[in-house]
Amino acid sequence: MEAAIINTLELLKGDVANGKRTLKNLAAECRYYELQATDDYSKAIFARLSDCTTRKEFNAVFASI
C-alpha cells in the first residue's frame, strides 16, 4: 500500500477518534477516496469505510487492516 493511502487512513482514524466531524461526512470522504484509489486493496478498504454508519463500524474496519 502506498504511503499516501496509509497517511490518509491514519488521518481518518484520528478524525473518527476525535469526533469533531460527522460520520456521514467521513463516509462521503471515503467514497471520494475509493474513486481516487489506484489499487484494488485500497479501493476495497475505502468502500468498506464508506458503508460505515457508527464509530464502532469504522474502528472494526481500521482494526482489520
Residue 30: per-residue pLDDT: 95
d(CA 38, CA 28): 18
**Alpha-carbon distance values, 12 to 29, 31 (Å):** 9, 13
| pLDDT tens column, 52-62 | 999 999 999 99
| pLDDT tens column, 1-52 | 789 999 999 999 999 999 888 999 999 999 999 999 989 999 999 999 999 9
Instruction: Collect contacts of 6-12 with beta carbons under 8 A, ≥24 apart.
Output: 8/33, 9/45, 9/62, 9/65, 12/49, 12/58
d(CA 34, CA 62): 15
Residue 9: per-residue pLDDT: 94
Q: What is the pTM of this model?
A: 0.89
Residue 1: per-residue pLDDT: 74
CB 46, CB 27: distance < 8 Å: no
